Structure 1
Amino acid sequence: MKYSYVPPVEAEHIRQLPTRDVALLLLQHLASGTGYLQYAGTMGAARQAFQEEPDTDALVNHLSDAWCWLEAHALLAREPSQSEAFRRISRDGMDLAKDPQGITRFEARERLSGPLHPALEGTVRTNFHLGDYETACFAAMKAVEVAVRDASGLDNSLVGVHLMRAAFQPHRNGKGGPLADAGAEGGEQEAVANLLAGAMGAFKNPSSHRTVDFEDPIEAAEIIQFADLLLRQVERAKRRQAAATA
């Protein structure tokens, strides 16, 4: 008697889709079952299901890559009550399995998985993980504004765009903003001033005056990454100041 095995992921999907997408399909399959999970058992079942395919080994290898992707991203975890061979779907994995659209939130968190500038590690990261993207983005740009004011020594009456313009005003006739790079070409100085001013105008000022709906968590993550880049530009300007003073 010949048995028919149901594959954890369709062969054509494994052939055509990137590892991440195959992994998400595998996660859906694993979440639909009961009991603990075993890598060897899952791969063995896949080999049986694909035994009539011309590329059985390649299909199982790609599915193995997908399993490893799930483990690497903490969507599968070891089962503490069992031997190390057993796995369970993690809390994040279950959330993702229940809501496939949650991949957008997952990928947004992945963008911020590395270290950020210290000014962004508290309120900004916390509000982002709570899903309050408007507060997180506003706080990120406010951190840039505070850093520029502290580094430039300019008056508190200057805020937002006006502060950036004053701090990074290009040098002309021996005069310029305290954070502008006097050694850079004039157009580059102007571009940096525009970059900082544009960031304030686009991402801080609107939230200062009205509620801004950040529906896309990836966009919010990228705004925070942009703030991180700007803060590093401010740090560079501070080092220039220190070198000039020395």
Structure 2
Amino acid sequence: MSLYSEIYPLPEAVLEMEPEELAPLVLKHLGRAEQGKLNRHNFLLGTDREFVDWAGSYKQGQSVLERFSVAWMWLEKELFIAPQPGNNDWMFITHRGKKVLDSQDFDTYRQGYLLPSDGLDSILVRKVKQSFIRGDYDTAIFQAFKEVEVRVRTKAGLSEKEIGVDLMRKAFGPPSAPLVDKTAHPAEQQARMELFSGAIGTYKNPSSHRYVNLTDPREAADIIHIANTLLRIVDSIQ
């Protein structure tokens, strides 16, 4: 069996993969390939017999190489590979890349793209993202909504004893709570209070009281993005 057949699915399936799905397989390939393959030009030539036999037609092979090229760029962006000092034409597998290869834990790192750091609150990047990447979704969600709670409490000037749904109602409750938007319609003021109360009651409180055992990374990322949106709202309040 060729290295391509061992590492990758069929070429037709590769063409359907997103860069962040294909990149871990390319990293595994680089970890198994001879040193000369750690040059992007050499890796993407597509002239070796193993690749030609695996790829099938020339046209399909070129399309696969385009996907490989984008996956290579993803690996560079995520610092799994980097240029060798003094020779930018050649690459080496970084400590982060070797750690993934050694553990064979590709899935957890591959799903990191679901929660990109760009646009994510800096506290969530620091306190939440690593738990998410490890697959500890309960902790990631709890920490995200704990930050919402802390920031609301601080912004509203309320005491430490105020927590959870009650905190949100005291912070946003119309018509005169500390964080009420006095320029908004009463119905909108009520809706914002319910938005924060509902989010905390739905996502933070269950994680505080029991193991939720969430297993879907996409659902977990969506929930964390809700917390991120709430933090933006709080930060925008003058």
What interval of TM-score do these two structures reach, taking the shorter chain for normalisation?
0.7 to 0.9
Partner of 2:44: 43
Per-residue deviation at 1:164? 0.7
Partner of 1:209: 209
Q: Secondary structure at the match of 1:88?
A: strand
Q: Secondary structure at the match of 1:114?
A: coil
User: Would the alpha carbon gap of residues 163 and 64 (structure 1) be closer, same or farther in structure 2, given more than 3 Å must change?
Assistant: closer
Per-residue deviation at 1:21? 3.6
Per-residue deviation at 1:126? 6.3
Within 5 Å, give how 1:10-159 maps onto structure 2: 11-35=11-35, 37-46=38-47, 49-50=51-52, 53-55=57-59, 56-80=61-85, 83-97=87-101, 102-108=106-112, 111-114=115-118, 116-117=120-121, 119-120=123-124, 123-124=127-128, 133-159=137-163
Whole-Å separation in 1 of the counterparts to 2:30 and 2:123: 40
Per-residue deviation at 1:22? 3.8
Q: Secondary structure at the match of 1:78?
A: strand
Whole-Å separation in 1 of the counterparts to 2:120 and 2:203: 18
Per-residue deviation at 1:170? 2.9
1:183-207 C-alpha deviation (Å, 9 max, x unpaired) = 2233322221111111221222223
Q: With structure 1 as the length reference, what TM-score do the two structures score?
A: 0.71
Whole-Å separation in 2 of the counterparts to 1:220 and 1:50: 40
Structure 2: 5+ residue runs without aligned partners?
Answer: none
1:126-159 C-alpha deviation (Å, 9 max, x unpaired) = 6656765544433332222222223223454432
Structure 1: 5+ residue runs without aligned partners?
Answer: 240-246
User: Would the alpha carbon gap of residues 41 and 105 (structure 1) be closer, same or farther in structure 2, given more than 3 Å must change?
Assistant: closer
Per-residue deviation at 1:79? 3.4
- Which one has a bigger Cα radius of gyration? 1
Partner of 1:199: 199
Partner of 1:165: 169
Give the AA of the match of 2:65: V
Is the Cα contact below 8 Å between 1:147 and 1:234 reproduced in 2?
A: yes
Please state if 1:186 is matched with 2:186: yes
- Identity percentage over the alignment? 34
Q: With structure 2 as the length reference, what TM-score do the two structures score?
A: 0.73
User: Would the alpha carbon gap of residues 59 and 160 (structure 1) be closer, same or farther in structure 2, given more than 3 Å must change?
Assistant: closer
Whole-Å separation in 2 of the counterparts to 1:101 and 1:130: 9
Q: Secondary structure at the match of 1:85?
A: strand
Whole-Å separation in 2 of the counterparts to 1:121 and 1:39: 31
Whole-Å separation in 2 of the counterparts to 1:67 and 1:168: 47
Is the Cα contact below 8 Å between 1:127 and 1:133 reproduced in 2?
A: yes
Is the Cα contact below 8 Å between 1:170 and 1:189 reproduced in 2?
A: yes
Q: Which moved more, 1:58-67 or 1:193-202?
A: 58-67
Is the Cα contact below 8 Å between 1:7 and 1:45 reproduced in 2?
A: no
Per-residue deviation at 1:163? 1.4
User: Would the alpha carbon gap of residues 29 and 230 (structure 1) be closer, same or farther in structure 2, given more than 3 Å must change?
Assistant: same
Q: Secondary structure at the match of 1:86?
A: strand
Give the AA of the match of 1:44: L
Whole-Å separation in 2 of the counterparts to 1:216 and 1:76: 28
Per-residue deviation at 1:161? 0.3
